[in-house]
Structure 1
Amino acid sequence: MATRRGLPPPPPPPPPLAARRSMAARRRLLLLLALLLCRLAAVLPTSEVEALQGFMAGFAGGNAAFQSWDTSAANPCTWFHVTCGPGNQVIRLDLGNQSLSGELKPDIWQLQALQSLELYGNSISGKIPSELGRLASLQTLDLYLNNFTGEIPNELKFIEARDLSHNNLSGIIPTNGSFSHFTPISFSNNPHTFANSSDSPSNNSAEAVPSGRSSSSSIGTIAGGAAAGAAMLFAAPIVLFAWWWRRKPHVQFFDLLEEETPEVHLGQLRRFTLRELQVATDNFSQTNLLGRGGFGKVYKGRLLDGSLIAIKRLNEDRIGTGERQFLMEVQIISMAVHQNLLRLQGYCMTPTERLLVYPYMENKSLETRLRECSDSQQPLDWPTRRKIALGSARGISYLHEGCDPKIIHRDVKAANILLDEKLEAVVGDFGLARIMDYKVSHVVTGVMGTLGHIPMEYLTAGRTSDKTDVFGYGIMLFELISGKRGFDLVGLANEENARVHDWVKKLLEEDRLEVLIDPNLLEIYNGGEQGVREEVRLLVQIALLCTQESAPSRPRMSTVVTMLEDGIAEHWDAWQRKTIVQASLQGGQGVSEARNDSVANLPPDTLSGPR
Structure 2
Amino acid sequence: MHCYILEITLMKQVQFILILLSVFHVLFGPIQVISIDPFNDDVSGLIMFKAGLEDPKGKLSTWNEEDYSPCDWVGVKCDPATHRVSSLVLDGFSLSGHIDRGLLRLPFLQILSLARNNFTGTIATDLLSIGDLQVVDLSENNLSGPIPDGTFQQCWSLRVVSFANNNLTGKIPDSLSSCYKLAVVNFSSNHLHGELPSGMWFLTELQSVDVSNNFLEGEIPEGIKNLINLRELRLGRNHFTGRIPENMGNYCFLLKLVDFSGNFLSGRLPESMQKLTSCTFLSLQGNSFTGGIPHWIGGMKSLDILDLSANRFSGWIPNSVGNLDLLSRLNLSRNQITGNLPESMVNCIKLLTLDVSHNHLAGHLPSWLFRMGLQSISLSGNTYSKSSYHSFTSIPVSFHGLQVLDLSSNAFSGKLPSGIGGLGSLKVLNLSTNNISGSIPISIGELKSLYILDLSDNKLNGSIPSEIEGAISLSEMRLQKNFLGGRIPAQIEKCSELTFLNLSHNKLIGSIPSAVANLTYLQYVDLSWNELSGSLPKELTNLSQLFSFNVSYNHLQGELPVGGFFNTISPSSVSGNSLLCGSVVNHSCPSVHPKPIVLNPNSSYSNSGSSLQNHHHKMILSISVLIAIGAAIFIVIGVAVVTVLNIHVRSSMSPSAAPFVFSGGEDYSGSPPNDANYGKLVMFSGDAEFAEGAHNLLNKDSEIGRGGFGVVYCTVLRDGHCVAIKKLTVSTLTKSQEDFEREVKMLGKIKHQNLVALEGYYWTPSLQLLIYEYLSRGSLQKLLHDDDSCKNVLPWRQRFKIILGMAKGLAYLHQMEVIHYNLKSTNVFIDCSDEAKIGDFGLLRLLPMLDHCVLSSKIQSALGYMAPEFACRTVKITEKCDIYSFGILILEVVTGKRPVEYMEDDVVVLCDKVRSALDDGKVEQCVDEKLKGNFAAEEAIPVIKLGLVCASQVPSNRPDMSEVINILELIQCPSEGLEELH
| TM-score for the superposition, normalised by structure 2 | 0.29
Greater relative contact order, per chain length (Cα 8 Å cut-off, separation 6+):
1
The structure with the largest helix share of the pair is 1
